[in-house]
Amino acid sequence: MTKAAQRETMVARRYRYDHPRFFPDILNDMIVTGRDLGAGDRVPPFELTTTDGVRLASDDLLARSETLFLIFGSRTCPVTESAAPGLKLLHALFGDRIRFVLVNVREAHPGQSILQPQTMEMKRVHAARLKAHLDLPFEVAADAIDGSLHRALGARPNSAFIVDPYGEIAFRAQWANVTEAIEAAMSDIVSRKAARKTSASHTMRAVARMIGYMAPVHAAAGEGARRDTWRVMPPLGLMMLLSGLFFFLPRQDRGLPTMVLTMGLMVAAIAAGVRDLAHGL
């Protein structure tokens, strides 16, 4: 085996983690680099099978003159959970002209109840369960066990891509729950115009929208998922805890007050530490 093949095998195995790491996993989620595929780039050849047994291949897009909306997600990803209502609305608006497919990828926060799939059979089971859980009106497919398509397009937990019939990316969203930007791009594309904006990040907005979904998603994932979040990114763990104080708000609206409260507590803690240090001197 060549060194390149060995490296690919190692990367593919690490893709199926049991415990997310801050580097590279969480850091990669937050940052889009110049190496990432974007508007004008061709997606790599792929072939997927949906939970209904339908074959979906990149080679077929042009023959069908089909524009494809690829969404990546998993059951243990709170961003995916928060994105579902908006994606259903987008499908109601554009589903007759754009083919929507959610690609089930690695579990973002696996736990003892929802383990990281280690076989294609289990990954297909996860894909079917995700479709049923979110009650999605569009297709769901499972990526390869080592995430070949997911990794080629950045390996982020809930990114989304509009792909034209020629297999070129027309629009990239770092987070699929920022549906306003996706809707604007789709409106342009179905009007036979180039998207005025070809990418969207809005990471802070995406995080704010998913915070209220973290606790139930981690609970479903089972033992270990919550602990891993505290271990790799303590501020998110604190936000998950504090979001419960805003139980009277819809889940999608709990993020902003939680972030403000978390920031206030962190500033107060730092100020208290500085004061104690000054008194000690």
For 98-107, what is each residue's pLDDT tens digit? 999 999 999 9
Flag whether pLDDT at 273 surpasses 90. Answer: no
Q: Residue 202 carries which DSSP code?
A: -
Maximum Cα interatomic distance, the chain, rounded to a whole number of Å? 75
Residue 8 has pLDDT above 70, yes or no: no
DSSP state of 42: B
Domain hosting residue 119, numbered range: 16-281
* Residue 209: closest CA among 85, 68, 75, 55: 85
The CB-side HSE value for 132 (13 A sphere, CA atoms) comes to: 8
DSSP string, 95-144: TTTSEEEEEE-S-SS--SSSPPP-SHHHHHHHHHHHHHHHT-SSEEEE--
Q: Give residue-wise pLDDT tens across range 136-161.
A: 999 999 999 999 999 999 999 999 99
Return the pLDDT at 216.
97
The answer to whether position 11 is within a domain reads: no
Residue corresponding to tokens 């809707």 = 183
- In whole numbers, what is the pLDDT of the chain averaged over residues? 93
268 within some domain: yes
Q: What is the pLDDT of residue 4?
A: 63
The structure's pTM equals 0.92
Instruction: Determine, yes or no, domain membership for 7.
Output: no
What is d(CA 3, CA 180) in angstroms, rounded to the nearest whole number? Answer: 44
Q: Is residue 10 part of a domain?
A: no
Domain count of the fold of the chain: 1
The count of residues in the chain is 281
Give the per-residue pLDDT at 224.
96
Inside any domain, residue 50: yes
Is residue 143 within 8 Å of 103, Cβ to Cβ?
yes
**Residues 6 or more apart in contact with residue 236 via CB below 8 angstroms:** 214, 229
> Has residue 258 been placed in a domain?
yes
**Separation CA 184–CA 176 (nearest Å):** 13
CA pair distance 209, 225, nearest whole angstrom = 19
What's the pLDDT at 50?
A: 96
Task: Indicate which CATH number applies to the domain containing 121.
Answer: 3.40.30.10
Q: Do residues 36 and 138 make contact, with C-beta atoms less than 8 angstroms apart?
A: no
Mean pLDDT in residue range 223-247: 95
pLDDT of residue 281: 61
pLDDT tens profile 194-219: 888 999 999 999 999 999 999 999 99
Strand order in the sheet with 139-142: 139-142, 99-104, 68-73, 160-163, 169-173, 199-200
> Can you tell me whether residue 240 is helix, strand or coil?
helix
- Sorted by sequence, the CB contacts under 8 Å of residue 257 that are 6+ apart come out as 246, 249
Q: Assess if residue 235 is contained within a domain.
A: yes
Tens digits of residue pLDDT in 61-77 = 988 899 999 999 999 99
User: Would you say 112 and 222 are in contact if contact means Cβ atoms under 8 Å apart?
Assistant: yes
pLDDT at 78 over 90: yes
Instruction: Please give the pLDDT value at position 1.
Output: 66
